[in-house]
Chain A
Amino acid sequence: MRGLATMAVEAATGEGQGAAARALRRVLSVRWVLYVAGPITMLGAWQYASDAFATKQLFPGPSETFRAFARLVASKQLALDTLASLRRIGLGFAIGSISGFLVGLTAGYVPLVRHLLYPYIHFLRFISAIAWLSMALLWFGTGETGKVALITYTTTFVVMVNVMAGVASIPVNRLRSARCFGATEWQIFAQVVLPSTLGYFFDGARLAMANSFATVVTAEMLAAQSGLGYLILVSRQWLAVDEIFVGIIVLGILGWLTDRVLVSLTDNRFRRHRLRS
């Protein structure tokens, strides 16, 4: 009876001949099995680590976390906080994407604009949104505007830089052939430059979404009365680590979901726009 490890290796590398190796290969070839295998293993490891940890309250296991989750759902607290965060992200992301796209297109295509904006773009994009948080509080108060402004800021820069790279990578012959056909510069902008950069725009949007989540959580921890960041903050103050875990996991799932939505809306439809033909 050969060792289990040898069989597993053979199955994974496709070389084992025995019935067990073939069965294992067939199971592993179903993709979702691999997707799920990781988290299931992690759950097991989590439970084990939490049991082994000295102070139970500081490292709750999956079951305690799930109980906290049920509590928060029942009290409607989780729903309220999630919606608050999503509202801020949604608004900031929408405004930021559009403005980033427009500015990126213009700066990418019109040298005059690019040169004028150059110092702002390459200086500001290293200053994270959170660095501006105090300014945002002073200028906008503690309401929603400040947080939405920060998310707009970070989204604009990420999208802008991506779109500018997209414009720079348009093959020059694409523009030249449009000029041959008598297109005005406006027509070239709308019918050649814009479609060519859509793929880059969506890549930038996906990246910006991740930044938006990070920004909103930090902003909520520092200066808000609602939202998932606020929930995590309050839970820490009460040493309710199980609720912190709930907040973190919900954040991750939300981020994954919004990314999936973005990808499904755009990847197939706009895949061709990114090609060099």
Chain B
Amino acid sequence: MVWDGSIVFDKVSYRFEKDSPWIIKDLDLAIAEGGFFVLIGPSGCGKTTALNLLAGFDKPTQGHIHVRGESVVRPGIDRVVVFQGEDSLYPWLSAQDNIGFGLRFVRLPADERRARVRDCIEMVGLAGHEHKYPDQLSGGMKQRVQLARALACQSPILLMDEPFGAVDAQTRSILQDQLARICQESRRTIFFITHDITEAVLLADSVGVMRAGPASGLKAVIPISIPRPRHRWTREFGQMYDQLHELLAEEALKALVNVR
């Protein structure tokens, strides 16, 4: 296994309990520093499990995960997560306070904290809405708050679990473009999960396709070398889409057949 990557999964396997079926088995993966890695796969193949292990919410049953050479033992501010859906926002805090929440436990001078929060609000396009509470924001805005909160931490690695899945198609398209732009401006390592192949081709440096579960692993890792900024549905875009779609469709069919 190659060890020079920023994120390394080394023969990682996970199951809930002894004797329950393996969710992922012998997953090997290396992501270089600064890379945008997208993990796609059929439903139930363990993508979220892989993210939870990388985030440190769960421990691998077998194998190790290394981030910049060190073993992952617990969640940390170097690997902040953007969750699917809105239930990780704090409803009693305004958008601004939610975004600043990530900085509460870090020793930072107050004005620098304020400046970072301000910058992130502008970056995700929420200026003017920062004093609203989550229940006053639309789904897309809530996801932007989560994104801003993660960006404010300036963590070298960002973990994103289908962040735009619960949002309508138009907002999703806008958020994808915003994310692509933000990532171009700041070189972080990103671990991004999605079902949407278009999203993968638009954002990724490389795409990992997982096999259908149980006991799934990586079927293939496909590099995407289209120069940025990328535009949907150019010829190269379409070719990559087709390639990924073929790989994914095989697994999706198997997942349907395997329905537990």
Q: B89 — which chain A residues lie within 8 A by C-beta?
A: 174, 277
Report chain A residues within 8 Å CB of B79.
180
B80 proximity list for chain A (CB < 8 A)? 180-181
B223 CB–A CB distance under 8 Å: no
Whether B135 and A180, one on each chain, are in contact in the complex, defined by CB atoms closer than 8 angstroms, is no
| Structural contact, A277 and B75, CB atoms closer than 8 A | no
CB closest residue in chain B, given A170: B87
Contact of B88 among A171, A183, A272 (CB under 8 A): A171
C-alpha spacing A164/B7, complex, angstroms: 39
Distance (Å) between the CB of B134 and the closest chain A CB? 4
Q: A56 in the interface, Cβ–Cβ < 8 Å?
A: no
* Contact A181–B142 (Cβ < 8 Å): no
Chain A residues with Cβ below 8 Å from B229 are none
Q: Are A276 and B87 in contact (CB under 8 A)?
A: yes
Q: A102 within 8 Å of B by Cβ? A: no
**Cα(A6)–Cα(B28), bound, Å:** 77
- In this complex, how many residues of chain A approach chain B with their Cβ under 8 Å: the count is 23
Question: What distance in Å separates the Cβ of A186 from its nearest Cβ neighbour in chain B?
Answer: 11
How many residues of B are in contact with the other chain, CB < 8 A?
Answer: 31
Given contacts A180-B79, A182-B77, A275-B135, A191 and B87 within 8 Å (CB-CB): no
Closest to B81 in A: A180
- Name the A residues within 8 Å of B55 (CB-CB): 176, 180
A181 touches B77 (CB 8 A): yes
A272→B74 contact, CB < 8 A:
no
Interface string of A178-195 (1 = CB under 8 A from B): 111111100100011001
Q: Does A25 contact B (CB under 8 A)?
A: no
Tell me the B residues contacting A by CB distance below 8 Å: 55-57, 74-77, 79-81, 83, 85-92, 101-106, 133-135, 142, 149, 153
Seed contacts A173-B87, A176-B81; 18 additional CB < 8 Å A-B pairs: A173-B88, A174-B89, A177-B81, A177-B83, A179-B75, A180-B55, A180-B75, A181-B80, A181-B102, A182-B77, A182-B105, A192-B90, A272-B135, A275-B91, A275-B134, A276-B91, A277-B89, A277-B134
Rank and list the top 10 A-B pairs by shortest CB-CB distance, nearest first. Answer: A171-B87, A173-B88, A179-B75, A275-B91, A277-B91, A277-B134, A177-B88, A181-B102, A277-B89, A182-B105
